[in-house]
Amino acid sequence: MSGGLTTWRAAMAAAILATIGQVRWWLVAMATFLVRGGLLLLLPPLLVLPTPAELASLVPASLVGTGLAHPTAALVTLVAGVSLGLVAVVFVTTAIGTWLDLGLVAEQAADGELGVLGPPDGVQRVLLWPAMEVRLLAHVPTAIAASLGLVVLGNALQAELISPPGPLPLALRVLLREPLMTAAIVGAWLLGEAWGSLALRRLATSSPGSTLRALRLGLADVLRPSGLATLLLTSTVIGAVVALLWATAGRAFERLWPLVIEPSDDGLLLLALGLFVGTWAAGLWLVAIALAWRSAAWTAEVLRRS
């Protein structure tokens, strides 16, 4: 069957069949996700955030000054240093994540279920730097949204710190105070992930391949009805699995944490620890399968059009 004649449903079915039993794909997809920032998405159930009063006591008044509107020189220096550190971290993690992703795409294109969707010669060897370029450039909208969001959410954080405490966690209250900006950042991130994934695969299936051409084809792919359907479907599945992980592991951690702070019964502590480890491991296992399936779905979407 030629790639152009393969329907979207057939491609998604092929991605599911190809992912089943591919434990290596699960592990590589999870490693790629974690190293490229997914770890931050999985940490909330394990975080014990300080109260506004505790947070205010940890920040010296000499550092904050009169607020974010009139920052001190020390605060500006700190922000600049943290920003440079984040740039370095993004560069290194992008390099590692892209290297892992390239290997995964090559394996998927050679798989019996997915390989028949694309051209007979499969994918070509891609150098790391061009692949990093398409990944980074695809997230320019994310960087713009995040930069604007830092200002807006920073003001929301300042407002929450001087407001009476509510029943919800501080981080959630800050995000809910600015729902449009929160949605814009999440939307830009999801679009950047999809665009970068498709552009990287276009780089591997186009001959000759170039960064700008791969980005153009990748953007056209993600804006097609089938691309938007794949983005919606995979994001919904991964979002549901991550939410399940948050709910189960978070509940288990709530039972475990008081026993760690004030241990009273060793047997009860071990039982709570076992419950937490079990739910966390099961949740990570499901997330890894969903991530591998998403990667295979994007590969199938590109192969069938190549």
For 123-160, what is each residue's pLDDT tens digit? 677 888 999 999 999 999 999 998 888 888 878 877 77
Given a cut of 70, whether residue 177 has pLDDT beyond it is yes
Mean model confidence pLDDT for the chain: 83
Range scoring the smallest mean pLDDT among 51-65, 263-277, 284-298? 51-65
Alpha-carbon distance of 90 to 299, in angstroms, equals 24
Alpha-carbon distance of 146 to 139, in angstroms, equals 10
Alpha-carbon distance of 209 to 165, in angstroms, equals 55
Mean pLDDT of 65-72: 59
Q: What is the pLDDT of residue 3?
A: 42
Question: Is residue 198 within 8 Å of 191, Cβ to Cβ?
Answer: no
Given a cut of 60, whether residue 224 has pLDDT beyond it is yes
DSSP-based three-state secondary structure for 59: coil
Residue burial 263-282, b: 16+ Cβ < 10 Å; e: rest: eeeeeeeeebeebbeebbee
What tokens appear for 145 in the block? 């949204």
Given a cut of 70, whether residue 51 has pLDDT beyond it is no
pLDDT band per the 50, 70, 90 thresholds, residue 4? very low
What DSSP string describes 118-176?
S-TT------HHHHHHHHHHHTHHHHHHHHHHHHHHHHHHHHHHTSPP-SS-HHHHHHH
Question: Is residue 234 within 8 Å of 297, Cβ to Cβ?
Answer: yes
Q: What is the pLDDT of residue 69?
A: 57
What tokens appear for 22 in the block? 């591919």
pLDDT band per the 50, 70, 90 thresholds, residue 56? low
Amino acid at 99: W
pLDDT band per the 50, 70, 90 thresholds, residue 42? confident
The 10 Å Cβ neighbour count of residue 284 is 17
pLDDT band per the 50, 70, 90 thresholds, residue 66? low
Range scoring the smallest mean pLDDT among 137-151, 156-170, 205-219, 290-304? 156-170
pLDDT band per the 50, 70, 90 thresholds, residue 82? confident
